[in-house]
Amino acid sequence: MLDRYLDMTQDDDPALTGVTGEPRAELRAQRLENRKSEAGYKNASARCTREVSAAEHACAMKAPSPNEWEACFDPH
């Protein structure tokens, strides 16, 4: 679920601006792997496992955008 969010937000990375084709795909994959190795990602992943309900998970996996993904966890 968290990987899905990272994937949806990766295209906003300024490092990818102006890069196209295979070089973009390689850079994008490398940036995703770098983010997954960060302590913040590992902490968020552990929290997801402990705290996310089945309904929130299902909502997040169907969300077509980062904003809608985030709304799945809105307490309102």
Residue 11: predicted pLDDT? 82
* Total-model pTM: 0.79
Residue 12: predicted pLDDT? 85
Query: Tokens 């709304």 belong to which residue?
Result: 71
DSSP the chain: -HHHHHHHHHTT-GGGTT--HHHHHHHHHHHHHHHHTSHHHHHHHHHHHHH--HHHHHHHHH-SSHHHHHHTT---
Between CA 48 and CA 67 the distance in angstroms is: 17
pLDDT in tens, 3-55: 999 999 988 889 899 999 999 999 999 999 999 999 999 999 999 999 999 99
